[in-house]
């Protein structure tokens, strides 16, 4: 069984969200969500997005689309709901909203917030984890937290109107932090203890050819179903499971270092399959 993660890049349609530093919140949030989607290990997670373009089902009514997102996650039976936004209004840092009642929503918010801070180096904006019940609502003000039937959070990556925050803003890093927060919440191994840049795979390689890799580049490797891919030295090349037969190899060592990558078939000894050399 896999956990169902509903990713919700905020805004869309005629609603760009906040704007600042020449960027639109709706586009930045989508960039992060797409990368989270690509990073979540497929052997543990199934992920869906509330939108995968700037369009929403009814572009002219972004407000009623919030209920559509919550309903969709409820009908799908999502295990968790993660909304991704950028803040505005004169501040700096990241923050994560959880449900007023706390519970698992608070645990998830804490895990995402702490992993984002670790992956990006950004500071928290005031209290790292907050609730929003102040704008005249009895319970949760945020629709996607109030109307969802599973632990839900809303992460504000940073302030789009802060030049300092936007100089730091990098969708790869935020995606790594959010994906790791989700992994941590479910007790799934984190994607990289060294905070490697979560770039999309550049190439799909075959599994027998030695590879010269730039530091922090990522290759996607396909193995036989049921085979385990492992690294002889995870300080140099990190192997991350994606699905039962797909793996990411991330070059995390320094120039000139090399590490063997091994394949293990069930009941067999590990066999060295290829060598990764850091360029």
Residues with catalytic annotation? Answer: 156
The candidate with the shortest Cα–Cα distance to 11, out of 21, 23, 22, is 23
Regarding 9 and contact with Zn ion (CB under 5 A), the answer is no
**Least CB distance from residue 70 to Zn ion, whole Å?**
15
Binding segment for Zn ion among 10-18, 45-53, 163-171, 257-265 (CB under 5 A)?
A: 10-18
Q: Is position 13 an interface residue for Zn ion (rule: CB under 5 A)?
A: no
Q: How far apart are CA 86 and CA 127, in angstroms?
A: 16
Residue span 29-68 as binding mask against Zn ion, x where in contact by CB under 5 A, dash where not: ----------------------------------------
Q: Which is nearer to Zn ion, 87 or 273 (CB)?
A: 87
In whole angstroms, how close is the CB of 139 to Zn ion at the nearest point? Answer: 20
For position 106 contacting Zn ion by CB under 5 A, the verdict is no
* 97 Cα distance to chain centroid: 16
Report how far residue 80's alpha carbon sits from residue 138's, in angstroms, rounded to the nearest whole number. Answer: 23
Per-residue DSSP letter, 13: T
Smallest separation, CB 25 to Zn ion (Å): 5
Task: Strand 124-130: give its sheet, edge to edge.
Answer: 45-49, 3-9, 80-87, 152-159, 94-97, 124-130
Question: Is 20 near Zn ion (CB under 5 A)?
Answer: no
Helix H or strand E encompassing 85: strand 80-87
Reading the block at residue 1, the tokens are: 């069984």
Residue 10 as a binder of Zn ion (CB under 5 A): the answer is yes
Span interacting with Zn ion, options 82-90, 203-211, 220-228, 245-253, rule CB under 5 A: 82-90
Using CB positions, name the residue nearest to Zn ion. 85
CA–centroid distance for 9 within its chain:
11
Within 8 A by CB and 6+ apart from 87, the residues are 18, 95, 125, 156, 157, 158, 159, 160
Chosen residue from 9, 12, 13, 17 binding Zn ion by CB under 5 A? 17
Contact with Zn ion (CB under 5 A) among 23, 24, 35, 85? 85
Q: In terms of CB distance, is 143 or 229 closer to Zn ion?
A: 143
Which positions touch Zn ion (CB under 5 A)?
A: 10, 17, 85
């Amino acid at each position: 069984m896999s956990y169902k993660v509903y990713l919700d890049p905020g805004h869309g349609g005629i609603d760009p969200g906040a704007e600042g530093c020449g960027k639109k919140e709706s586009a930045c949030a989508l960039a992060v969500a797409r990368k989270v989607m690509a990073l979540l290990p497929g052997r543990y997670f199934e992920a869906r997005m509330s939108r995968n373009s700037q369009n929403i089902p009814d572009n002219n009514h972004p407000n009623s689309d919030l209920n559509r997102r919550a309903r969709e996650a409820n009908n799908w039976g999502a295990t968790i709901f993660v909304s991704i936004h950028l803040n505005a209004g004169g501040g700096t840092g990241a923050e994560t909203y959880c449900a007023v009642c706390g519970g698992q929503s608070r645990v998830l918010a804490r895990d995402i917030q702490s992993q984002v801070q670790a992956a990006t180096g950004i500071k928290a904006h005031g209290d790292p984890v907050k609730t929003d019940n102040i704008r005249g609502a009895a319970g949760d003000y945020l629709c996607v937290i109030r109307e969802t039937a599973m632990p839900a959070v809303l992460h504000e990556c940073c302030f789009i109107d802060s030049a300092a925050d936007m100089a730091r803003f990098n969708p790869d890093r935020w995606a790594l932090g959010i994906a790791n927060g989700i992994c941590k919440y479910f007790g799934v191994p984190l994607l990289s203890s060294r905070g490697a840049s979560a770039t999309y795979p550049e190439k799909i390689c075959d599994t027998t050819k030695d590879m010269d890799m730039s530091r922090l580049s990522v290759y996607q490797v396909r193995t036989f179903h049921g085979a385990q891919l492992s690294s002889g030295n995870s300080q140099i090349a990190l192997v991350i499971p994606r699905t039962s037969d797909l793996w990411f190899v991330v070059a995390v060592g320094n120039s000139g270092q090399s590490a063997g990558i091994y394949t293990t078939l069930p009941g067999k000894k590990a066999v060295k399959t290829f060598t990764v050399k850091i360029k």
